[in-house]
Amino acid sequence: MTFPGDSLQKELVETTQALSKLDIDEVPPQNNAEIQDLQLEPQFKDITAFLDEVTDEFKIGQLVHLESFGLYDAMSSIEIMDPKMDSGMILDSDLNKKPFDIKTLIRPEQVLWVMDRLFICEMSWHSGHSLSQTLFTCMYLLHVMELEPELFSNNSSDDINQNLIPIEFVILILKSYVLGIAKCCQLVWDEMTKGHVYEEEDFATNKYGISIYEDFPNSQALKLLDDAETWLVHHGSNWIRQTGMDKSEDIIRALQSRLLLRKSFLLALMHMTQPIRQQYSQAQHHLSICLQLLHDSKDDGICINGTIDLGVEVEGAFDPLINRKLVSQTPPRPIHLLSMQECVDELKNMLKNLIEICNIVDYKSATSLTNFMIYYSAKQSIPCAFSRSFLQSTVYSENRILGKLSVFQLIKDSVTELTNPPYIYFTSKTDIGTSVNGSHIDVDTAKISKLIHTFVDNAVKPLTDYFRILCHNRSRQRRNMCKVLSDWDLLQDEAEHIDTELQSIIKEEPLPSEEGPSYSFHLSSWVYHRKLILLEDILFLGFELGLFGDHEFVMIYWYLDYILGVHYQHLERTHMHVTDPRKFKKQQNFQFESSLQSSAVSLIVSQQVLTMARQDICRGIHRTIIALQKTGNYTPPKLEFDDESIRFWHRFRMYRTLGSPTILSFQDFKDTTRLDNITAFELLSFSLKNFQSARSSIENLLAIKPFESRMDFCHTDFTKDLQAMLRVCIANIISLHKILEEFDQKPITIEKVENEKTTKSRNKKGNKNKRKQKPSQKPPQNQKPMITSPEIKLVNKVANFEFKYHPWFPVITLK
């Protein structure tokens, strides 16, 4: 390649530079103030021609770039003049668009349309879309303060005379509604920015520097809504009737119900977001009004549902291209706003959830609070981000539980409800001061108190973290549960030390048991119980989130079977200590103690039955799958780059660092699931028994009273969950019966491995012939079929897993 002479090069550059400098004054258009500002920046030279020359010298694929600037950065840039990415591009469709004038008078049905559209935007925002693509697209929201009577009369007095549409439809009804929405959104925004949920994942809080009238007082918005309602009843409705339009009554009702809904929702939000959680009953009242308005009852006048499609579009009132005027680093995503019906359903769901949350401030017990959160987060219609954040604020904020209890109290209750430790453990310091001895504080008591406080201090973080996790979205829950496992493990370790010290102080006498003397370990038992629940939920959530493949089910359910078994034993042990008969002889206030004891017993028993039911289902499932593997109806995929032991290690890796329960190895798994000397038939019969016993356990659980199982707040969800499990059991029992019948009745084709291999290469016809030739090998009816070799197959059927009733447990059928 020839290089141009240095002098020539210089000359050229100088010429181009000179040229650029000469015409630089022409660059900024004179009529453009913004561009002129640039003149304060350094002078520019035109390098257009130079670039043409220099890029000719580039090799294909050559880049000139900053060292720090890589391909990755380049990929994240927005391409200009690409209609999909460049929001600043003027499209042909935009050219003929008239600017929207919000000061045009619009008809009541148009007002209705704007209201509904705003509502759709609001709910779409709640469902996770950005403000810039939802509420901020509304011209009325952006310019609501311009809706003033003076501006209207100046502008279009002629129009008023012509159309006779009262100006109040816009400046009162629409304005109050818009401001009502703005205030609701502000209150929601305040809640969402507390950081309880994942921003951008659950919710978008970016306001893009646009005000949603933060300074406009809530009370003012309420007053406007009231005024609008009054005006509508006294004047607006008359006007609508006089026009004699179709469905005038419907329109009046529609407007009325929307104003009322907005007012009630705003009031509810205002009560809910008070720093002291004492106005929940008022909030609940307003929430129920909202809910009534959304219900289908068409008969008693005011409701939203019947009036959804009455609105008439106002062209240009919503501008989806508003995004281009906002400070945004990313191009807008293609989004789909919800439909009106979906919005109504969403809001209904949200209101119901909020009402439930308002209930829990009436604290019953620590366990019922925890259970509420567990079942709340597991709801099948996923609670929206706002209600989850609100739950978190309600349960734990500013170091208080439900705005009134200390965390100490909560942990005390939680431990007492399960393991019922000696009364002296959690006696507070003031109680010690006024105890029997008066002036003299027992040295032992002081020691105990100190130990207990150490324990509680250690437990605060894991427990509150757990509460926080339960308010996250499902995927995050699992991820974060894995993260906090080690905290609980550490806590358990510490609790065991404290328990041992406490034992020596109170001179606890161990209970004799088969495995030697057994101490009660009140505190660590509680920790272990909670930890085991975490371990189980992590695996169960894996099913719910669809993280496991079919071929991993055996492994996972097998492991769950093990953990649930450990949990059951642990509860059994706790049960034994809680019902220790010697305890009562020592206690002074027998009545009080015995009530605590009996409630602990009923909680433990219900937990035991639940654990057992789950264990039975898990066992039934993995046994069925193993049996179907034996019969060849289920063949795990042969994956070339898959190593089962590595996958096993990977699936349970979060349990490896834990002190307890003992981790099982892949070898354990292989050894216990090989089951060579059990026939598929027997195995299936065992599974059948498992499902049957799970079924009866669940039926027992359904009969337990809510306060006994500490499901006071979430009994409906708990019952639903149990019923779903029950359905899983029943469906599996039916399916197993069918499979077992096929063993008995239908001829079983026995194809040896070699045969299978050969038939695979043959055509279908050959395959069919093969089957017809073999019916003689059918086992005799009365004799137990000898199905020990893995080559036996129930004809043409493949195992099918459907999580149709419960997200954690599949129904296994042959299809």
Q: Applying CB under 8 A, which residues contact another protein? A: 1, 3-4, 6, 9, 13, 17-18, 20-21, 24, 27, 32-35, 38, 41-48, 50-55, 57-66, 69, 73-74, 76-81, 88-90, 324-327, 329
Minimum CB–partner distance for residue 211 and another protein (Å): 18
Helix 553-578 vs helix 644-651: angle between axes, to the nearest 10 degrees?
A: 40
Residue 640, CB half-sphere, CA atoms under 13 Å: how many?
Answer: 0
Minimum CB–partner distance for residue 12 and another protein (Å): 9
When the beta carbons of 65 and 450 are compared against another protein, the nearer one is 65
CB atoms closer than 10 angstroms to residue 178: 26
Minimum CB–partner distance for residue 11 and another protein (Å): 12
Minimum CB–partner distance for residue 334 and another protein (Å): 19
Can you tell me the distance from the alpha carbon of 556 to that of 200, in angstroms, rounded to the nearest whole number? 32
| Residue in 534, 521, 601 with CA at minimum distance from that of residue 566 | 534
Can you tell me the distance from the alpha carbon of 416 to that of 423, in angstroms, rounded to the nearest whole number? 9
| Residue in 388, 370, 380, 522 with CA at minimum distance from that of residue 455 | 522
When the beta carbons of 64 and 443 are compared against another protein, the nearer one is 64
Can you tell me the distance from the alpha carbon of 483 to that of 461, in angstroms, rounded to the nearest whole number? 13
When the beta carbons of 83 and 433 are compared against another protein, the nearer one is 83
Minimum CB–partner distance for residue 96 and another protein (Å): 16
When the beta carbons of 133 and 414 are compared against another protein, the nearer one is 133
CA Rg value for the chain:
35
When the beta carbons of 86 and 580 are compared against another protein, the nearer one is 86
Minimum CB–partner distance for residue 72 and another protein (Å): 11
Peptide linkage before 790 cis (omega within 30 of 0): no
Minimum CB–partner distance for residue 339 and another protein (Å): 32
When the beta carbons of 24 and 506 are compared against another protein, the nearer one is 24
Minimum CB–partner distance for residue 395 and another protein (Å): 40
| Both tokens assigned to 103 | 């000061």
Non-local (6+) Cβ contacts of 761 within 8 A are none
When the beta carbons of 209 and 546 are compared against another protein, the nearer one is 209
| Residue in 422, 487, 419 with CA at minimum distance from that of residue 458 | 487
Amino acid (one-letter) located at 472: H
In Å, how far are 639, 738, 791, 799 from 635, measured between CA atoms? 12, 20, 11, 9
Name residue, tokens 């009702």: 253
Non-local (6+) Cβ contacts of 221 within 8 A are 176, 179, 180, 182, 183, 266
Minimum CB–partner distance for residue 320 and another protein (Å): 17
Residue 47, CB half-sphere, CA atoms under 13 Å: how many?
Answer: 7
Burial code (b: 16+ CB inside 10 Å, e: under 16) for 710-746 equals bbbbbbebbebbbebbbbbbbbbbebbeebeebbeee
Contact between 212 and 182 (Cβ < 8 Å): yes
When the beta carbons of 44 and 592 are compared against another protein, the nearer one is 44
| Both tokens assigned to 460 | 């605060």
When the beta carbons of 324 and 651 are compared against another protein, the nearer one is 324
Q: Which residues pair with 517 in a beta bridge?
A: 512
Minimum CB–partner distance for residue 240 and another protein (Å): 41
Can you tell me the distance from the alpha carbon of 431 to that of 436, in angstroms, rounded to the nearest whole number? 10
| Residue in 567, 569, 491, 498 with CA at minimum distance from that of residue 532 | 567
When the beta carbons of 90 and 702 are compared against another protein, the nearer one is 90
| Residue in 601, 808, 713, 723 with CA at minimum distance from that of residue 371 | 713
When the beta carbons of 139 and 174 are compared against another protein, the nearer one is 139
Contact between 673 and 622 (Cβ < 8 Å): yes
Handedness of CA 322, 328, 334, 336 (dihedral sign): negative
Please calculate the CA angle 426-429-432 and round it to the nearest 5 degrees: 90
Minimum CB–partner distance for residue 43 and another protein (Å): 5
Minimum CB–partner distance for residue 281 and another protein (Å): 48
Enter the DSSP assignment of 90: P
Minimum CB–partner distance for residue 262 and another protein (Å): 33
Name residue, tokens 């219609």: 381
Minimum CB–partner distance for residue 21 and another protein (Å): 5
Q: Which residues pair with 801 in a beta bridge?
A: 812
When the beta carbons of 73 and 226 are compared against another protein, the nearer one is 73
Name residue, tokens 């006048």: 301
| Residue in 432, 498, 423 with CA at minimum distance from that of residue 459 | 498
Minimum CB–partner distance for residue 45 and another protein (Å): 4
Peptide linkage before 706 cis (omega within 30 of 0): no
When the beta carbons of 35 and 145 are compared against another protein, the nearer one is 35
Torsion angle, CA of 311/317/318/324, rounded to 10 degrees?
180
Q: Is 692 exposed, middle or buried (0-12, 13-18, 19+ CB in 10 A)?
A: middle
Minimum CB–partner distance for residue 73 and another protein (Å): 7
Minimum CB–partner distance for residue 146 and another protein (Å): 20
When the beta carbons of 69 and 584 are compared against another protein, the nearer one is 69
